[in-house]
Amino acid sequence: MKITILSVALVSAMAMSACSKNEPAVDTAAADTAAMEAETTAADAMEAAPAETMPVATENPMVGGAAMLADKDIIDNAVNSADHTTLVSAVKAAGLVDTLKGAGPFTVFAPTNAAFAALPAGAVDGLMKPDKKADLAKVLTYHVVAGNVDAAALMAQIEAGGGKAMLTTVQGEQLTAMAHDGGIMLTDANGNSAMVTTADVRQSNGVIHVVDKVLMPKS
């Protein structure tokens, strides 16, 4: 009887051993690697997917090597631009500092130092003289439009106008805005043109668009 029981047990053990040999072996290392790769892929996907509730921050472009802060006014930002020292001096000479620090809003097309330097010899110095203060103010306010007109709004006006928009300046005369070479071109009352080189520099009291030429009114 003991021999029979022992034989049965031996046969069962041999059968179980044979079954385990027929089953494929589980590669635990490969399984762990696959799991880690799956976790990494999921994490990457979560990082790549934009958060719908997170607003996209819009930063001002640098101007004249300086940061332009949207919570500062037109004057407080302009004085920091190395490319606009002539414009700032002209604004001071024309007595327009307080105006451009006001609530506005104003849209300013701001000529660079190079734009002023491109004027005929002696033109800038002549306008800076005390007896030319009124003339200087006319030139500067010809670069200012009432309201907050960013590039998108200006392009919308151009499209609505069949390819051009007429902008009435604070000086009283108009500028013509048109799309040109992927940007915005402004033409003054004398037919001279300037390109917007840096758009949408947002201010607490409006917006600045940097231009590469000085625009001149008729009168």
Chain centroid offset of residue 20 CA: 67
| Continuous segment of H or E residues that includes residue 217 | none
Reported as a pLDDT band with limits 50, 70 and 90, residue 59 is confident
> What is the per-residue pLDDT for 58?
60
Burial of 139 by CB count in 10 Å (0-12 exposed, 13-18 middle, 19+ buried)?
buried
**Which of 9-18, 132-141, 204-213 is predicted least confidently?**
9-18
- Averaged pLDDT for residues 84-96: 97
d(CA 98, CA 103): 10
Map out the domains of the chain as residue ranges.
Answer: 2-48, 74-211
Lowest mean pLDDT among 86-90, 113-117, 156-160, 215-219: 215-219
Give the residue from 183, 174, 187 showing the smallest Cα distance to 141. 174
How many whole angstroms separate alpha carbon 70 and alpha carbon 19?
Answer: 76
In whole angstroms, give the CA distance from residue 81 to residue 213: 17
Query: The tokens of 36 are what?
Result: 């880690």
Contacts by 101-105, CB closer than 8 A, 24 or more apart: 101/73, 101/74, 101/75, 101/76, 101/205, 102/205, 103/205, 104/74, 104/146, 104/148, 104/205, 104/206, 105/146, 105/147, 105/148, 105/205, 105/206, 105/207
For 161-209, the pLDDT digits (tens) are 999 999 999 999 999 999 999 999 999 999 999 999 999 999 999 999 9
pTM: 0.73
Percent of the chain with pLDDT over 90: 71
pLDDT of 147 over the 50 cut: yes
Give the pLDDT confidence score for residue 39 in this predicted structure. 39
Q: Is the pLDDT reported for residue 2 higher than 60?
A: no
CATH class of this structure's domain 74-211: mainly beta
